Amino acid sequence: MDRRAVLSRIGALPVLAAFAGGCAEFGDGYPASATPRSGPVVWPEGRERTALVLGSGGPRGFAHVGVLKVLEAAGIEPALIIGSSAGAIVGALYAAKINTVEIERRALNLGLTDIADPSLLRPNRLIGRAMQNFINAAVDESLIEALPRRFCAVAAPVGKKEVVAFTSGHTGAAVRASAALPSMFLPCTIDGVAYQDGDLVSPVPIHVARSLGATRVVAVDVSAFFEDTPASVPENWKTRDAERRAIIDGEAKDADMLLRIRTPYYAGASREYRETLIRLADAQTRAALPRLLALLK
């Protein structure tokens, strides 16, 4: 199942859910003082400036949970977590220092009603406020700058080939902006600017990590392997996959390590699919662990 199929399931939710969600189409959902902002990162003193970059990938983002489980078990503690789209969702929970067993439990139990709030004005799109609220509740209402681990969420201003790294302010809103995939979500407006999924400009924002001062960058790419593309998929999927790969490859040279997690080409929404991704990512990260430990020693 791909994102379009997931969206069709969401569109089948009861009309009552659409009505309830429609009420949240207006307003920011946070005070002006908590408006997400970009700016420099205050790095922990006395530690190497290691950034962990978690890339976009839609439902494939559940694979990040498997990666984080291995890193946590190995005692690897990045100084900064940077997330784009699905990577921002998982990264925010990790930055809140929720242990990975609990992150896995929440990932496996995540239901459509946790993030699905169909728009009354555009019923084939989700508003995104439900996701915003889900994230903010998970991080105990903490602002980005108050999270136990440094964190930033990367989003793209609508119509521009640039990215913005939110390093302070309302965590839920920043993640919502980062994950606002145009085919599923309405753009997220922050301080008068409309933002959409960071995947469109920087699927694995390695350059953002360097621009924020990271001296070591470990990046995780969970996007589809182009060589695994079935011959029968639509040409526009192939085109977008090729564009995404070109962007990632262009940034990869600035990473100290790029961990590519190989998952089935077609994405899904079932618990079984999520369990499969976490298991695959766990195994592949374990295989790469000696190289990672040598890099970070």
Residues classed as catalytic: 85, 197
What are the phi and psi torsion angles at 271 (to 5°)? Answer: -60, -40
3-class SS at 18? helix
Amino acid at position 69, single letter: K
Do 196 and 155 contact (CB within 8 A), yes or no? yes
Rounded to whole angstroms, how far apart are CA atoms 73 and 199?
29
Rounded to whole angstroms, how far apart are CA atoms 257 and 245?
16
Instruction: State in Å, rounded, how far the first CA of the chain is from the last one.
Output: 40
Q: Which two tokens stand for residue 249?
A: 């490859």
DSSP state of 84: E
